[in-house]
Amino acid sequence: MPASSPLADVAREPGVAKPDPILVASGVTRRYGGVTAVDVDHLEVERGIITSLIGPNGAGKTTFFNLLCGFDRADEGSWTFEGERADGVKPHRLARRGMVRTFQLTKTLGRLSVLDNMLLAAANPGERFLPALFTPGRWGRIEADNRDRADELLRRFKLDHLRDEYAAGLSGGQRKLLEMARALMTDPSLVMLDEPMAGVNPALTQSLLQHVTALRDEGMSVLFVEHDMDVIMTISDWVVCMAEGRIIAEGTPADIAGDDKVIEAYLGIDHGGQTTGSIS
């Protein structure tokens, strides 16, 4: 992380306060029967950087992620997004406030064209019932603007040649790209990516990582769930590690790679055992 980073002076400890958080969560728990899947005391996600949420399988990352964006209901806890309350808020409202998510298993809309997938994500008054019928001129103009923006994004994600194809005809990698491009059509301030690299070949992984970096460079905040440490080390500005539902470590990628608790969580070493080396 560059010395000028806003988090250079922030302590490397779980739940640490950050100078300019976009998302602040406190006391979030989610239980399934007797199992506590998520039990997060405090987490702040800094604005304008790439934060990775890592942890071994079953650490509760995705559950926590789903809670934050309203796709699952927390048993306890509160969190704010851009300073406003975000717990108990419906996912579509959070999306309109600028918190957009993608899915681990891509959810492209198969029987809609690639372009329609993009246009769907942009707001348009013609999405309401009566304006749809009675003000086609008005929403038509907005639609045309949205189409220009969609075309630009499709070019950037190298999907422009597939613009009029059904999204179902896309390869797995192209769907990942479409999902990311579509998320950008909502004009988000926080992009939440749920394991975007899962099941993706190495070449595409590099391309996706470049796109993620570009989001940050354009001023968006990124929260990234990933269980593969190698993937996030190069692009993350900050890493949060979860294990067994709790946040066990926070820090720069370098801090995290050398953290005993993280290595233990990933490798499952007994307490008292000797650990040497680090995860690269």
Contacts with another protein by CB under 8 A lie at 69, 71, 90-93, 95-96, 100-103, 107-112, 116, 119-121, 123-124, 126-129, 132-133, 136, 139, 143, 166-169, 182-183, 186
Q: C-beta of 3: minimal distance to another protein in Å?
A: 37
**Which residue, 157 or 238, has its beta carbon nearer to another protein?**
157
How far apart are alpha carbons 222 and 99 in whole angstroms? 10
Q: C-beta of 120: minimal distance to another protein in Å?
A: 5
**Six-digit token string for 143:** 């639609």
Burial (CB count <10 Å: 0-12, 13-18, 19+), residue 205 = middle
Given a contact cutoff of 8 angstroms between Cβ atoms, the answer to whether 252 and 49 are in contact is: no
**Which residue, 90 or 275, has its beta carbon nearer to another protein?**
90
**Which residue, 182 or 246, has its beta carbon nearer to another protein?**
182
How far apart are alpha carbons 194 and 106 in whole angstroms? 10
3-state secondary structure of 40: strand
**Which residue, 135 or 234, has its beta carbon nearer to another protein?**
135
How far apart are alpha carbons 80 and 87 in whole angstroms? 7
Q: C-beta of 125: minimal distance to another protein in Å?
A: 8
Q: Count of CB atoms within 10 A of residue 279's CB? A: 14
How far apart are alpha carbons 16 and 72 in whole angstroms? 25
**Which residue, 103 or 235, has its beta carbon nearer to another protein?**
103
Q: C-beta of 137: minimal distance to another protein in Å?
A: 12
In one letter, which amino acid is 104? Q
Q: C-beta of 142: minimal distance to another protein in Å?
A: 9
**Which residue, 19 or 88, has its beta carbon nearer to another protein?**
88
How far apart are alpha carbons 195 and 181 in whole angstroms? 16
Q: C-beta of 231: minimal distance to another protein in Å?
A: 22
